[in-house]
Amino acid sequence: MGKKRVITKSGEDTDKINQKISSNKAKGPSKKHLEIGRVYIQASYNNTRVSLTDLKGGLVAWSSAGSLGFRGPKKATAFAASKVVATLMEKVKRVGLKTVEIYVKGIGGGRETAIRSLVNQGLDIVLIKDITPIPHNGPRPPKVRRV
């Protein structure tokens, strides 16, 4: 691997390229202010995930027990759920969140602990709704066995 050769061009082409590069730069941390949000808690037997969105559904922050380093059956415990909520609130503390609507999905062990942890963080809770899918009627039963 030899030396890299850089060819410089002068004139209008370079100015256009520099303008494109400067406009594509990252704009840094967003200074978005969010007072009311929605918290979605997905508590399964294998993991606990918590997401915070604005009222339009745009994701603001998320956290899960697996991303925190919990492995195996420890991901679905109540302790892991409380740590997930604490991590989420650390991520959004500068946003100014005060009021939340909570939507809970699943039947895992961390579902009630996650709600309690949100209350203990000092948030005002307007709504708690269970959106766990429930089968109604199910598939057609098998035919009767003939012997």
Kindly report, residue by residue over 60-83, the tens digit of the pLDDT.
Answer: 999 999 999 999 999 999 999 999
Is the pTM of the predicted complex or chain greater than 0.75? no
> Domain ranges in the chain?
40-130
Span 82-127, pLDDT tens digits:
999 999 999 999 999 999 999 999 999 999 999 999 999 999 999 9
What topology is assigned to 40-130 in CATH?
Answer: Nucleotidyltransferase; domain 5 (3.30.420)
For the record, the structure tokens of 73 come out as 């059956």
